[in-house]
Amino acid sequence: MERTLALEVDMQEWMIPLLTQMGGGAIAGLAVGYAFKKTTKLALLTLGVVLILLYLLMQGGYITVKWNAVSEGIETGARTVSSWAWEMTRELSASLVGFTGGFLLGMKIG
């Protein structure tokens, strides 16, 4: 009987802070995921409109577009985001696990 009681006390010592970290991370992740999805839609729409506008201005002879430089800029941005995400996953912690779950849920809801 005493052994079971000691095991329950030990679990409470490490389980409660872990769940608190995961819960706080999940709430923050939910908010960030929701906002991220909304702003990403707006950013992609803006990027699409700008690219179409550049193409139309180029076809009309008003400007000259160096499409290689445009594609390099987009690729550099994508590489920067992916390297940031990789660094975040390397530092896996309880709050990051909760944050990731909340973020994915926020992306689904948003």
pLDDT digits (tens, 9 = 90+) for 8-41: 556 566 555 655 666 777 777 778 888 888 898 9
Structure tokens of 78? 């994508």
Backbone angles phi, psi at 61, to 5 degrees: 85, 10
Cα 59 from Cα 89, distance rounded (Å): 44
**Per-residue pLDDT, 59:** 92
As a whole number of Å, the end-to-end CA separation of the chain is: 49
pLDDT digits (tens, 9 = 90+) for 43-68: 889 989 998 998 899 899 998 888 89
Structure tokens of 64? 């000259």
pTM of the model: 0.54
Length of the chain equals: 110
